[in-house]
Amino acid sequence: MKKNKNEFFILGILILSFLSLTITCFQIPNSYASNFRIQTLDQNNLVNKSVGWIIYHGEDDNSTYTVTVNDLKAFGAEFSQINSEITQILLSSYDILVIEEGGTDWLNSELIALDSWIKQGGALYILGDQPGDSQSNVSLYFNVYYNTTDPLAGLLTIEDSTHDLFENVTNIDCFFPSASIDEIQSTASLEVLARSGDNAAILAALLIQNGRILWNIDSDGTINDFNIGFADHRQFANNSWIWLATPNPYTPGNGGDNMIIIIIIISSIAGVAVIGTIIGIYLKKRK
Mean pLDDT within 54-83: 96
Q: Provide, rounded to the nearest whole percent, the portion of the chain with pLDDT above 70.
A: 72
Number of Cβ atoms within 10 Å of the Cβ of 44: 10
Per DSSP, what are the bridge partners of residue 154? 174
* pLDDT-based confidence at residue 43 (cuts at 50, 70, 90): confident
Backbone angles phi, psi at 117, to 5 degrees: -65, -45
* pLDDT-based confidence at residue 177 (cuts at 50, 70, 90): confident
* pLDDT-based confidence at residue 42 (cuts at 50, 70, 90): confident
DSSP secondary structure code for residue 104 in this structure:
-
Mutual angle of helices 133-141 and 108-119, in 10-degree steps: 60
In this prediction the pTM is 0.75
pLDDT value of residue 218 = 84
pLDDT value of residue 71 = 96
pLDDT value of residue 56 = 98
Maximal C-alpha separation, the chain: 83
Q: What is the 3-state secondary structure (H, E, C) of 132-200?
A: CHHHHHHHHHCCCEEECCCCCCEECEECCCCCHHHCCCCCCEECCCCCEEECCCCCCCCEEEEECCCCC
Backbone angles phi, psi at 120, to 5 degrees: -90, 0
Q: Where are the domains of the chain?
A: 35-245
Q: Provide, rounded to the nearest whole percent, the portion of the chain with pLDDT above 90.
A: 62
Distance separating alpha carbons of residues 113 and 107, to the nearest angstrom = 10
Distance separating alpha carbons of residues 7 and 280, to the nearest angstrom = 10
For domain 35-245, give the CATH number.
3.40.50.880
pLDDT value of residue 6 = 56
pLDDT value of residue 176 = 82
Mean pLDDT within 111-128: 96
